[in-house]
Amino acid sequence: MSDPLLTASNLAKTYPAAGAFGRRPECRALDGVSFELEEGETLAIAGESGSGKTTLGLIVARLEEPSAGTIRVDGLLWSSLRGAALRRERARVQMVFQDPSTSLNPRLTVGESIGEPLRAISRLAGRALAERTAELLASVGIDPAAAGKRPRELSGGERQRVAIARALAPRPRVVVCDELVASLDLSARAGVLNLLLDLQEATGVSYLFISHDLEAIRRVADRVAILYAGRIVEESPARQFFAAPRHPYSAALLAGRALPGEPPESGTDEGGCRFEPRCGAARPRCREEDPALVFEGPRRRVACFFPGEPVENEKLSGENCVSVQ
């Protein structure tokens, strides 16, 4: 088997958090996250709000810097590039954000928005730039004549298609999709998801697909990784994940089940499994030891001492339960 297209190793991210006096505590958004992404593959990242999903996407796209850990893309140490070297290689990884109304400059036309990365990265100009812009618009199902329109003249689904075209303009190897369809209605959502699959088949691009929408993940993902409190707690081929999740948190996500309490505060470690206070399958060992993320089979990992165990109901019946979606 060939080497992965992208390899992330032990990624961590901490932010300073305001303290009342003296030393400022740290807010830990990611804590030792490792994964691989193959060429032409879609890896979905799911979890509650605050689990670290968006932070992970920003780090992979080099819009945030990790506090620790490395990322390799095509064998290149992507996370170490700086300045001119990063600008030369920027085309390798691009990102599409949740809301195209904020990611597209309202003062620029559709054609100008797509042309920006073509001029900056691909050094296109004149007729070549216009032809490539028209080609990209057509590839995402937008009439090339729309190049002269402003984003406000398009529907939400059309704006997101333009954002995808902009990300694809420099021919990236990886596109990070951050809640790509969250702001779209159902019909637009289906169209954009189908578009992603068609573009992947046509270009071989790989996606890091960040979403809380499990139905969208079911539609596009080859594999699924579940983040909880900054760590991956389960990673699995998508079919196996949806058929039989192994971690109790994953099972709660799939069932849309309410869980008691809240995730642990960032930066706090009191020993034991981070999910134990909210887990209906927890046992004494879970309060004392922190489970490692270990392989159960090919490309399937789980961080749980008792994976697949039935979940007891008493922890799911309290007044302080909150939805995990």
186-216 pLDDT, tens digit per residue, is 889 999 999 999 999 999 999 999 999 999 9
The amino acid present at 68, given as its one-letter code, is: A
Half-sphere exposure at residue 80, Cβ-oriented, CA atoms within 13 angstroms:
6
Q: Any long-range contacts for 276-279 (C-beta under 8 Å, 24+ apart)?
A: 278/249, 278/315, 279/248, 279/249, 279/311, 279/315
Q: What is the DSSP letter of 232?
A: E
What ranges in the chain are assigned the alpha helix state H? 53-60, 83-89, 100-103, 110-120, 126-139, 156-168, 186-203, 214-220, 238-243, 248-255, 284-288
- The yes-or-no verdict on residue 96 having pLDDT over 90 is yes
pLDDT value at position 323? 54
Retrieve residue 258's tokens: 């309410």
Question: What DSSP assignment string belongs to 4-40?
Answer: PSEEEEEEEEEEE---SSSSPPEEEEEEEEEEEE-TT
- In this prediction, residues 224-253 reach a mean pLDDT of 97
Please choose, from the candidates 29, 125, 120, the residue with its C-alpha nearest in 3D space to the C-alpha of residue 68.
29
- The yes-or-no verdict on residue 275 having pLDDT over 60 is yes
Domains of the chain, with CATH numbers?
Answer: 6-221 (3.40.50.300), 247-323 (no CATH)
- Number of alpha helices (DSSP H) and beta strands (DSSP E) in the chain: 11, 14
Q: Scanning the structure block, which residue is given the tokens 């420099």?
A: 170
- In this prediction, residues 124-137 reach a mean pLDDT of 92
- The yes-or-no verdict on residue 319 having pLDDT over 70 is no
Q: Determine the 3-state secondary structure of 210 from DSSP.
A: strand
pLDDT value at position 26? 77
Retrieve residue 308's tokens: 């697949």
pLDDT value at position 100? 86
Per residue in 14-49, pLDDT (tens digit) is 988 665 455 556 788 999 999 999 999 999 999 998
Q: Is residue 312 very low, low, confident or very high in pLDDT (cuts 50, 70, 90)?
A: low
Q: Is residue 320 very low, low, confident or very high in pLDDT (cuts 50, 70, 90)?
A: very low
**Sign, Cα dihedral of 98, 220, 301, 253:** positive
Per residue in 73-95, pLDDT (tens digit) is 999 999 999 999 999 999 999 99
pLDDT value at position 176? 98
Indicate the range of 125-129, 238-242, 285-289 predicted with least confidence. 125-129
**Pairing of the two strands 174-178 and 231-237:** unpaired
- In this prediction, residues 98-109 reach a mean pLDDT of 90
Calpha distance 61→54 (Å, rounded)? 11
Retrieve residue 5's tokens: 């297209």
Q: Scanning the structure block, which residue is given the tokens 């949740």?
A: 98
| Summary mean pLDDT of the chain | 90
